[in-house]
Amino acid sequence: MGKVTGFMEIDRQVAKYQPASDRIRHFREFIIPMSDPEVTKQAARCMDCGIPYCHGPTGCPVHNQIPDWNDLVYNNRWEEAIRNLHSTNNFPEFTGRVCPAPCEEACTLNLEDAPVTIKTIEQAIADKAYELGFIAPQPATVKTGKKVAVIGSGPAGLAAAQQLARAGHEVHVYERESKAGGLLRYGIPDFKMEKNFIDRRVEQMTGEGVTFHYGANIGVDLPVEQLVADHDAVVYCGGSETPRPAGIPGGELHGVYDAMPYLVQQNRRIGRENIDSVAWAAEPILAGAKHVVVVGGGDTASDCVGTAFRQGAVKVTQLDIRPQPPEKEDKLAIWPFWATKMRTSSSQAEGAVREFQVATLEFVGEDGQLTGVRCCEVDERRQPIAGTEFIIKADLAFIAIGFSGPMKDGVLTELEGKLGVNVDRRGSSNVIANDRDYKTSLDKLWAAGDVRRGQSLVVWAIREGRQAAQAIDEALMGQSLLPR
């Protein structure tokens, strides 16, 4: 513990943002990094409280050893801090940017509403480590002669690949897209995380012996059966990208889209990639000078809001069928768990109009073009309240109500139909494997990340990739020195 009285003397500070009026003029990250002295001061607030709920079961999913690295940062021991952080998390610069930080909810100082700024410190350690040249390839000194294939290069696939390569295996990552990163690259907008951070890790992993095969759609370009035959182990990290069907009448009108094609297009535009190849969208979708309605209340909906503002939308309204949550949670009933309370994302804070307890009844239009969204208020049981109908003017509407499981085409069709792999039959089609050994019902095939657990978080994908790698290493070698 750095400073025994730190938590009494120092107020919580979080990294500041550029003002909304400035940041909506560009797509770059807008968080103003904290100075080193401020980061070390904030690290001094950690009480090392004995039972570190922050990295316990309700806190950080990868069990980052938060009090330990807070102490190291307070004492300016940045190299040891990144070594400690890397011992649990392959990509802290990703989570330091996009993680919703359940660790901070579980921090003992959150009982007073002033948790340690864990996420900001995590990002600072990773960014500083790059700045000081502490992050370099760590190739295995002994090779095992075993060959492992990873399907998908999202955070789960990348974490699995890095761990397996460091254990000495020959690792091949097969990725359908032209670049690595999965939803980190093509879903999450640049203003939340710029993509050079992924490129740097790909470079590091290439230096560790990982081979990336891009434009390889497994199950279409190459059968999974072939991949399984050619490798000692295959880990399927294909994500969960099928949009949940909304079933809202009028969804066929021009101007109504699922959220993903919109976000993928914009990410490709910024990455100077071809946008014609984005599935489900035959034309550029742009919100400039338009009235935009976003249906849904999660991360994906928020990302549509921020993207629309940056493209010059006149007005963005976000519809949430859930009741407006309370401003504050009942700490003694909820802590150290994640609390349902009123949260405003940086995108919503850019000027979105938020409507709660509102159902979307129909998209309405003229001559095939969307002109508005017909809505009504609902009661606590989500039943329409008579006489409350209203129409919101809309030129563009995005549906962002979640994901129902992996894409059915290609790999999943082959796995389920031809190879008889067990998938969840309760509507999601997630591949069935437990979270101890991540093994599917098919010999030599493992599964990790969203494809197994359903659409989740980057930090959970990293955890699953790491743990699956450890399970595979153990299965191939009889024992494993990889951490879980």
Ligand X SMILES: Cc1cc2nc3c(=O)[nH]c(=O)nc-3n(C[C@H](O)[C@H](O)[C@H](O)COP(=O)(O)OP(=O)(O)OC[C@H]3O[C@@H](n4cnc5c(N)ncnc54)[C@H](O)[C@@H]3O)c2cc1C
Provide φ and ψ at 109, rounded to 5°.
Answer: -70, -10
For position 238 contacting ligand X by CB under 6 A, the verdict is yes
For residue 168, the partner it binds in ligand SF4, ligand X, none, with Cβ less than 5 to 8 A by kind, is none
* 348 contacts ligand X (rule: CB under 6 A): no
What are the structure tokens assigned to 73, written together? 């940062």
Q: Is 266 in the site for ligand X (CB under 6 A)?
A: no
Member of 456, 475, 477, 484 binding ligand X (CB under 6 A): 456
Write down the least CB distance from residue 54 to ligand SF4, Å. 7
Identity at 3, one-letter amino acid code: K
Structure tokens at 141: 């000194």
Nearer residue to ligand X within complex by CB, 155 or 261:
155
What does the alpha-carbon distance between residue 429 and residue 420 come to, in Å, rounded to a whole number? 13
Q: Rule CB under 6 A: choose which of 61, 102, 168, 219 binds ligand X.
A: 219
User: CA angle 9-14-19, nearest 5°?
Assistant: 135
> Cβ contacts of residue 77 below 8 Å, gap of 6+?
none
List the one residue from 159, 237, 459, 471 that touches ligand SF4 (CB under 6 A).
459
Cβ-based nearer residue to ligand SF4, 65 or 302 = 65
Q: Indicate which single residue of 2, 67, 115, 182 sits in contact with ligand X (rule: CB under 6 A).
A: 182
Q: Does 181 help bind ligand SF4 (rule: CB under 6 A)?
A: no
CA angle centred on 38, ends 33 and 42, rounded to 5°: 110
Query: In angstroms, what is the minimal distance from the CB of 407 to ligand SF4?
Result: 27
Both tokens of residue 81? 């801090």
Partner that binds at residue 329, options ligand X, ligand SF4, none, CB closer than 5 to 8 Å by kind: none
**Whether the Cβ atoms of residue 439 and residue 452 lie closer than 8 Å to each other:** no
Judged by beta carbon, residue 102 or residue 168, the one nearer ligand SF4 is 102
User: Residue 49 binds which one of ligand SF4, ligand X, none, with CB within 5 to 8 A depending on kind?
Assistant: none
Sign of the alpha-carbon dihedral angle for 398, 403, 409, 411: positive
Stretch of 100-108, 149-157, 190-198, 304-312 contacting ligand SF4, by CB under 6 A: 100-108
Least distance CB 110 / ligand SF4 (angstroms): 12
Number of amino acids touching ligand X (CB under 6 A): 41
* One of 18, 87, 217, 480 touching ligand X (CB under 6 A): 217
Instruction: Draw the binding track, 190-209, toward ligand SF4 (x: CB under 6 A; -: no contact).
Output: --------------------
Does 60 engage in binding with ligand SF4 (CB under 6 A)?
Answer: yes
Cis peptide bond upstream of 336, omega within 30: yes
For residue 370, which of 295, 320, 427 has the smallest C-alpha distance? 295
Q: Which is nearer to ligand X, 9 or 435 (CB)?
A: 435
User: Please, which residues bridge with residue 390 across strands?
Assistant: 375
Interacting stretch for ligand SF4, rule CB under 6 A, among 57-65, 173-181, 320-328, 435-443? 57-65
The stretch near ligand X (CB under 6 A) out of 46-54, 85-93, 109-117, 212-220 is 212-220
Binding ligand SF4 (rule: CB under 6 A), the pick from 102, 115, 372, 405 is 102
User: What residues from 121 to 160 belong to the interface with ligand X (CB under 6 A)?
Assistant: 151-157
- The 10 Å CB-count burial string (b at 16+, else e) for 189-219 is bbbbbebebbeebbebbeebbbebeeebebb
Q: Cα-Cα-Cα-Cα dihedral of 408, 414, 418, 421, to 10°? A: -70
Q: Which of 64, 50, 45, 54 lies closest to 7 in space, CA to CA?
A: 45
Could you tell me which of 349, 477, 406, 410 has the C-alpha nearest to residue 227? Answer: 410
118 belongs to the binding site for ligand SF4 (CB under 6 A)? yes
- Options 122, 175, 190, 329; binder of ligand SF4; rule CB under 6 A: 122
Please state the length of the chain: 484
Q: Please state whether beta strands 396-399 and 256-258 pair in parallel, antiparallel, or not at all (unpaired).
A: parallel
Contact set for ligand X, span 391-410 (CB under 6 A)? 410
Long-range CB contacts for residues 225-231, cutoff 8 Å, separation at least 24: 225/414, 225/418, 225/419, 227/149, 227/151, 227/174, 228/442, 228/443, 228/444, 228/445, 230/147, 230/149, 231/147, 231/148, 231/149, 231/172, 231/444
Identify the CA nearest to 267 among candidates 176, 182, 187: 187
Q: Name the H helices within 210-318.
A: 224-230, 259-270, 299-310
Query: What is the smallest separation between the CB atom of 365 and ligand X, expressed in angstroms?
Result: 26
| Stretch binding ligand SF4 (CB under 6 A), from 114-122, 350-358, 372-380, 434-442 | 114-122
183 binds, among ligand SF4, ligand X, none (CB under 5 to 8 A by kind): ligand X
64 binds, among ligand SF4, ligand X, none (CB under 5 to 8 A by kind): ligand SF4
Site of interaction with ligand X (CB under 6 A): 98-99, 151-157, 174-177, 182-184, 187-188, 192, 216-219, 237-239, 241, 263, 299-300, 303, 410-411, 449-450, 455-459, 461
Site residues for ligand SF4 per CB under 6 A: 60, 62, 64, 66, 95, 99, 101-103, 118-119, 122, 459
